[in-house]
Amino acid sequence: MITNLAQGVNAFTSNVFLVDGERTVLVDAGSNFDVVSRVRDRVDDLEAVVMTHTHPDHVGNLPEVKDAFDVDAWGYDRSQSGIDYAIEDETDVQLGDDEYVAVHTPGHKDDHLCFYSEAASVLFAGDLVFQNGSFGRTDLEEGDRATLVESIDRVTELIDGDLSELHVGHGPSVTNEPYDHVQLAGQMARQM
């Protein structure tokens, strides 16, 4: 089961997805709200925190989560503050009950990862793409539009029209033809 713990929060934060199951994890930690109590309202314990990337709005709550649940944080670049273990490109990672492949997708930030499960038909896209063809900012440090387009293309080749769920770093998740939203983001990123 996937739950956005940041839903309804009125603060500068990313989405925070609790993926409950055989291996209960958080995808991103968010910032500026009490995510620990929201986790505790739903589960007794966490096994890990998996980061899409380390922008402040995604990692602000990370120290509190790590302390409260005595868990490690996993991300692409272990040299980033708070990341305990590295996830290499194309590594399999268990989130909940399903295996996901980690896909290195720079362009928004150098350490950006997406997580895709073909079996579950789910994509955690972080800040790579959003609903309605929106895509991650490239005007921040480490941002690069051409690299972002390449990353979106890579994800588009990996997924297909059967994708059921697109969980993004900001805004609502997409369950109505999510593949089309990813494809549109690639088109929009090329035009702007």
For the cut 80, the answer to whether the pLDDT of residue 192 exceeds it is no
- Whether the full predicted model's pTM is greater than 0.95, yes or no, is yes
Look up the domain containing 49 and give its range.
2-191
The pLDDT confidence band at residue 173, using thresholds 50, 70 and 90, is: very high
C-alpha count within 13 angstroms, C-beta hemisphere, residue 161: 0
- Cβ-proximal residues to 143 (8 Å cutoff; 6+ apart), any chain: 107, 108, 109, 136, 137
What mean pLDDT do residues 157-169 have? 96
Q: How many CA atoms lie within 13 A of 64 on its CB side?
A: 17
pLDDT at 77 over 70: yes
The closest of 59, 12, 69 to 38, measured between CA atoms, is 69
Segment holding 4, helix H or strand E = strand 2-4
Mean pLDDT of the 119-144 span: 97
Q: What is the mean pLDDT of residues 71-96?
A: 97
CATH number at residue 145: 3.60.15.10
The encoded tokens of residue 81 equal: 């503050």
Rounded-to-integer distance, Cα 191 and Cα 170, Å = 22
At residue 121 the predicted structure's pLDDT band, cuts being 50, 70 and 90, is very high
Give the number of domains in the chain: 1
Q: Is the pLDDT of residue 144 over 90?
A: yes
Partners of 100 in the β-ladder: 93
CA distance 79 to 103: 18
β-strand 113-117 against 98-104: which pairing, if any?
antiparallel
Q: In this structure, are strands 98-104 and 122-126 parallel, antiparallel, or unpaired?
A: unpaired
Average pLDDT, the chain: 97
Convert the pLDDT of each residue in 39-58 to its tens digit: 999 999 999 999 999 999 99
**pLDDT-derived band of residue 32, with 50, 70 and 90 as boundaries?**
very high
pLDDT at 153 over 70: yes
**To the nearest whole percent, how much of the chain has pLDDT over 70?**
99
Rg (CA), the chain: 15
Per-residue pLDDT band for 79 (boundaries 50, 70, 90) equals very high
Q: Find, among 104, 149, 146, 156, the residue nearest to 126 by Cα.
A: 104
